[in-house]
Structure 1
Amino acid sequence: MPRVLVWATHLALPLAGLWLLLTRPGADLIWQHHDTHFWLVLTVAVVNIAVGSAMSVAAHRRQDGRLFLVSLVFLAGAGFLFAHALATPKVLIAHPNAGFDMAMAVGLIIGSVLALVSSLRLPAGITRWQLALRPLLALVLFAWVVLSVLDLPPLNRQTQVRDVEGPMVFASYAAVALYLVAAVRFYLRYRRAPGVVLMSVVTAFVLLAEAMLAVTLADKWRLSWWEWHLILTAAFLFVGYSAYVQYRREGSAAGLFDGIAVAETTRRIRAQYETALEELVTALQESEAGAGRSGSRRGWRSASALPRSRRRSSTGPPPRCSPSGTCPAGSAPWSPSASRPASARARRSSCARRSRRSGRRSVTSRSGWSPAALSA
């Protein structure tokens, strides 16, 4: 229980900061720096695209519909954040337009619907309507980027004080509620089967709800407006860091997002792991048995190739002699050093004796002296 309280306290800090800035207008300062906005948002968008793409690849490998929808949540947020970065005024276009203002709100609203659907009970496989969502999302995002950067209607109209005004305010509040419902449902799933990446998805959904609230209430270029950029950065980077921690722990990227998958997919993955483990154990047992049989055959062949006397000595020491020194016939007193190879000192002395004998022979041959000549 204390861990849940600590986690909830950390998630409440952005809301406390937003409330403080909105209730004290003197503290909600204006900071309008276009280059910083462009590079910060662009970097976070690229990181989130990488995370969403990794989830999408894992979803196709596992053929899991829930994981596929969660990947679309992050891809939608990353795509419209990328469009928001490209439409930064005085970088690629001369003036701000509606494409710059509304991009992040539209991306978060689309992501909230996908997040809620992903938390529902879904079939294990990726259905046809789910596969149709990705090209549809890519088409909408491409059209948004083109209209925003080229400053074409209907996104070329003049900007407003806030990013969200008019009827979109109600859609924004609905998106906040959808994110929270999805976070609660995924948290209940986490209680049944804890996982690092699953908990990071729950945290990211809560942070996305807080970012949606800040987008709706904050005035542009004020500190409260910059706060939702930081909240999105924390949400996306937290998921990426959790995936990295899980990768370091498991040593493989194959099962990083299995905790998000449908129950049927999880059972299928566990069955595959059990089958692979059984095959590995069987292979190890067969290799050990084969090595033992080949070793025994080699030992029998080497023993049969030895002479009979060597075979007897190789099996162990001969019978010990009696204390009086008498030994059985055909045997000699045995000592442990007798079975050891000759030492280096013994080898050197033997070489020295051979060299002295060869030296005497050479002297005899040169002088003509021999024991027979001396006796004569």
Structure 2
Amino acid sequence: MADGPGEGRPGARRRAAVGAVALTLPLVGLAVLRLSEQLDMQWQHDPTHFWMVLGAALLSALTAYGTGAAAVRRGDVRVMYVSLAFLSASGFLGLHALATPHMLLETASAGFNISTPVGIAIGSLFAVASVREVDAARAAAEMRRARILRVALLLLMVVWGVASLLRLGPFGAGPGLARDSPPMVVAGIVSVVLFGVAAVTYVRLWWQRGGLLPAAMASAMVLLAEAMVAIVMAPNWHYSWWGWHVLMLAAFVLVAWGAQQSWHEERYAALYTADTLAGRREMSILFADLKGFTTFSEGHDPSEVTDMLNAYFTVAIPAVVKRHGGTIDRLIGDAIMATFNRLGDQPDHARRAAQAGLDLQVETARIADQHPGWPRFRVGINSGEVLVSVLGSEGGRTHTVIGDAVNVASRIEGQAPVGRVAVTAETLALLPGATTEPLGALALKGKGEPVEAFVLVSLGGATS
């Protein structure tokens, strides 16, 4: 399932059909086992159960970590909810592993026994939440809520585990709530429906974008739904009961494999929301480079040039990123390109960028003062609407910003005085109270009309 949209439709349809048939086989096998008592034999092997379940939980946890890190880095709500779905499944499945007799406890507790269906049910809620398209206006607030949910989910799993180990209240000894009881059946039906909705959406995503990962996600949703069916129907330690363990393991292996097969740069890009893939933002863009860098490089050994750049970047980058929340888009030789409001969560992006530029000049000037003859930075800042987009394909891919506002920032930086910060009129309009010196109307390459620019002296009012 790797054809791009519009490519190889007959082949894609055949593979989709084959995949659909393959995904129905576990349910067929479960039905056959449940209809034949002779086939659905009992087999209890505690070490096999423990290591299979623990291994599946760890694999799911790694997927949750990878997707969670990507979601935070790109502010992508869909990938964040995918991460929470796998975190729920992995955490509660890990608790189920602890229910294996003769491991931590001689006999299992109710809390451990029912942890897996609870984890899958919670995961189905996050799975269906992940299918929505969320625009930039709502993404930042929803990401904050999702991160709170992640903390709450982790706390729930810790409390559940402690209560189960201590056998407190309903988490005490015994099998607990029967898997075929009405509450479990209802939870199973709801989970299957939610996973089904998620699977259909990821199939559509694959059909539109292509790529292996959306197809793997769709298949994993189906396998988790089937695992929930097996949990409700299968008696403990029978072959059909082992089946749902295998189904969950298969789901996690499939997604991990799909992610591994994706190009390492922007590995989860095929799952991004449309806004993350190509969304518009009002942003401020900062460029900085060293005046006279080429001449300096010509007269010095490459190791000396490297030491000089590292000395500068050691103080320049924290001034931009840690102090003022900028994102380093790229480093090109001696040049720094940084963006502000990339995730849509910095309405004061112009002030952040301006203060970052001033701080960068202060910090790097200290280094330059200690090394006479080293080139010094100049900084240019512009604000405006840009497109945040994933560019490239396998072999080279990046998440960057495109637009005239970016080009103007780069051109302004090229005409900024050494050791100073130049801003455009668009940026200055967002900096009430700032003190500036006129730089004049600059003729910039590629611009039909001169661009008014100013040298930023200081910012009035509170800073970021």
In structure 2, C-alpha distance between the alignment counterparts of 1:188 and 1:243, rounded to whole Å:
18
1:122 to 2:138 alignment: no
Counterpart of 1:269 in structure 2 is 389
How has the CA–CA distance of structure 1 residues 164 and 155 changed in structure 2, closer, same or farther, with 3 Å as cutoff?
Answer: farther
1:145-170: CA deviations, max 9, x gaps?
Answer: 11122222221142169535232211
Q: After the TM superposition, which residues 96-111 of structure 1 pair with which residues of structure 2 at under 5 Å, given as runs?
A: 96-111=108-123
Q: After the TM superposition, which residues 27-176 of structure 1 pair with which residues of structure 2 at under 5 Å, given as runs?
A: 27-124=39-136, 125-126=139-140, 127=142, 128-159=144-175, 162-176=178-192
Shift of 1:192: 1.0
Shift of 1:210: 0.4
1:188-232: CA deviations, max 9, x gaps?
Answer: 122111121111111110110000110111111100000000000
**1:70/1:118 contact within 8 Å kept:** yes
Of 38, 46, 65, 1:26 maps to 38
- 3-state SS, counterpart of residue 230 of structure 1: helix
Letter of the structure 2 residue corresponding to residue 118 of structure 1: S
**2:71/2:80 contact within 8 Å kept:** yes
How has the CA–CA distance of structure 1 residues 206 and 7 changed in structure 2, closer, same or farther, with 3 Å as cutoff?
Answer: same
In structure 2, C-alpha distance between the alignment counterparts of 1:106 and 1:74, rounded to whole Å:
13
In structure 2, C-alpha distance between the alignment counterparts of 1:190 and 1:233, rounded to whole Å:
22
Letter of the structure 1 residue corresponding to residue 58 of structure 2: V
How has the CA–CA distance of structure 1 residues 174 and 20 changed in structure 2, closer, same or farther, with 3 Å as cutoff?
Answer: same
1:263-292: CA deviations, max 9, x gaps?
Answer: 01001233645759x99xx9xxxxxxxxxx
Counterpart of 1:13 in structure 2 is 25
How has the CA–CA distance of structure 1 residues 36 and 167 changed in structure 2, closer, same or farther, with 3 Å as cutoff?
Answer: same
**1:65/1:123 contact within 8 Å kept:** no
Structure 2 spans left out of the alignment, 5+ residues: 1-12, 279-387, 392-398, 411-464
1:185 to 2:201 alignment: yes
**1:207/1:235 contact within 8 Å kept:** yes
In structure 2, C-alpha distance between the alignment counterparts of 1:76 and 1:24, rounded to whole Å:
33
1:255 to 2:271 alignment: no
**1:161/1:220 contact within 8 Å kept:** no
- 3-state SS, counterpart of residue 169 of structure 2: coil
**1:162/1:217 contact within 8 Å kept:** no
Shift of 1:90: 1.6
- 3-state SS, counterpart of residue 170 of structure 2: coil
Letter of the structure 2 residue corresponding to residue 67 of structure 1: V
CA RMSD of aligned residues (A): 2.1
**1:73/1:115 contact within 8 Å kept:** yes
Q: TM-score, normalised by structure 2?
A: 0.56
Counterpart of 1:354 in structure 2 is none
**1:84/1:103 contact within 8 Å kept:** yes
Q: Which has the higher contact order (CA 8 A, sep 6+)?
A: 1
**1:164/1:216 contact within 8 Å kept:** yes
Letter of the structure 1 residue corresponding to residue 40 of structure 2: D
Instruction: Flag the structure with larger Rg.
Output: 1
Shift of 1:55: 0.3
**1:37/1:85 contact within 8 Å kept:** yes
- 3-state SS, counterpart of residue 71 of structure 2: helix
1:92-124: CA deviations, max 9, x gaps?
Answer: 101122112211000010011111111123234
Letter of the structure 2 residue corresponding to residue 56 of structure 1: G
Deviation above 6 Å: which 4+ runs of structure 1? none
In structure 2, C-alpha distance between the alignment counterparts of 1:144 and 1:43, rounded to whole Å:
20
Deviates more, 1:225-234 or 1:153-162: 153-162
1:209 to 2:225 alignment: yes
In structure 1, C-alpha distance between the alignment counterparts of 2:178 and 2:206, rounded to whole Å:
36
**1:200/1:238 contact within 8 Å kept:** yes
- 3-state SS, counterpart of residue 201 of structure 1: helix
Shift of 1:262: 0.8
Q: Across the two proteins, how many residue pairs are aligned to each other?
A: 274
Greater share of strand residues, 1 or 2? 2
In structure 2, C-alpha distance between the alignment counterparts of 1:216 and 1:84, rounded to whole Å:
15
Letter of the structure 1 residue corresponding to residue 185 of structure 2: V
Structure 1 spans left out of the alignment, 5+ residues: 283-376
- 3-state SS, counterpart of residue 111 of structure 1: helix
Letter of the structure 2 residue corresponding to residue 176 of structure 1: V
Counterpart of 1:243 in structure 2 is 259
Letter of the structure 2 residue corresponding to residue 152 of structure 1: L
Name the % identity. Answer: 36
Shift of 1:44: 1.2
**2:110/2:177 contact within 8 Å kept:** no
